Structure 1
Amino acid sequence: MKKIILILLMALGVSVVSVAQDEGGDKPNGGRIEALKIAYITKKLNLSTEEAQRFWPIYNQYMDEIKKTRIDARQNQEGELPTEEKLLNIRKKYNGEFNKALSSEKVNTFFKAEKEFSTGLQKELMERRMQRMENRKPFRNN
């Protein structure tokens, strides 16, 4: 288990640092969120040492393409559908790449875990936003 954690930390160290630098400017918790996502995926996939060595470099390339596409879409003010289509094409491309490193079952688990994390994150952010709004309401005395 210690070997797996060490390998993951080494494989992800560069990615997490670059993500923190990339997203740190306009998203203060970007690096922290990425680290939480990586931990969530790691737990869901339960990778062997060999699988981790093959998976994480591909994952880093995948995330680089996803981020670049989102940044380009934002800068070019692309519509939602063209952006989603580009993201889907990236997922399709990397589905094949991930299948070279993992079983198809684990690849499916990865994509599900990624979606679950995003959904959970959105829900958490919305709840926090609502709570902040509630706390801002002035107290009324009847």
Structure 2
Amino acid sequence: MRNNLLLILLVFSITCSFAQSKERRDKIKSLKVAFLTERLELSAKEAQQFWPVYNDYENKRDALRKKERTQIRSKIRDAANLTEKEAANLLTQYLSFEEEEEELDKSFLKDISKVISAKKTLLLLRSEEEFKRQLIKQYRHNKGGGGGPR
């Protein structure tokens, strides 16, 4: 009986953790949309064309990174136990993912620059970096890190 209760509590806490994680991701996404819309000063017409292209890119990039994490990053942690041949194969896979990500980025920049001006495209790149920095700063602040080394 006690084991069942512990199992139920464990499943419940994991479920809550996933729900909180999804809520957090959704909140961050909403903040990012507002941040980019404001920074880029998108007109209604631009926004209507911009967001489908941007969201498609984000979805493809997220899927690629998830695939990389499951197929490569998890194995890199265990690199000391790999044979040289396995390590070489893993390195080849890693380079392939890097190339795929670079191609995705190039394709996105070509596509998005058809929707918004070159100047706004550059502003998008800068704004994404600024958003990441603000997110990290906020995370450190919330965790009590103060942003500096400990």
Give the TM bin, normalised by the shorter chain. 0.5 to 0.7
Q: Distance in 2 between matches of 1:43 and 1:26?
A: 26
Structure number with bigger Rg = 2
Identity value in percent: 28
Q: 2:39 aligns with which of 39, 44, 50?
A: 44
Scaled by the length of structure 2, the TM-score of the pair is 0.63
Q: 2:123 aligns with which of 109, 116, 126?
A: 109
What's the counterpart of residue 76 of structure 1?
71
Scaled by the length of structure 1, the TM-score of the pair is 0.66
Shift of 1:74: 1.4
Shift of 1:129: 1.9
Q: Distance in 2 between matches of 1:124 and 1:87?
A: 28
Structure 1: state its 5+ residue gaps. 1-22, 133-142
Residues 24 and 30, structure 1, Cα contact 8 Å, conserved in 2 = no
Relative to structure 1, is the Cα distance of residues 121 and 87 closer, same or farther in structure 2, using a 3 angstrom cutoff?
farther
Residues 58 and 98, structure 1, Cα contact 8 Å, conserved in 2 = yes
Aligned-CA RMSD value: 2.4
> Which structure is higher in RCO with an 8 Å CA cutoff and minimum separation 6?
2
What's the counterpart of residue 57 of structure 1?
52
Q: Distance in 2 between matches of 1:84 and 1:27?
A: 27
Relative to structure 1, is the Cα distance of residues 73 and 121 closer, same or farther in structure 2, using a 3 angstrom cutoff?
same
For the pair 1:126 / 2:126, whether they are aligned, the reply is no
Amino acid at match of 1:67: D
SS in 2 for 1:130: coil
Q: Distance in 2 between matches of 1:24 and 1:115?
A: 27
Relative to structure 1, is the Cα distance of residues 73 and 62 closer, same or farther in structure 2, using a 3 angstrom cutoff?
same
* Number of positions where the alignment pairs a residue of Structure 1 with one of Structure 2: 109
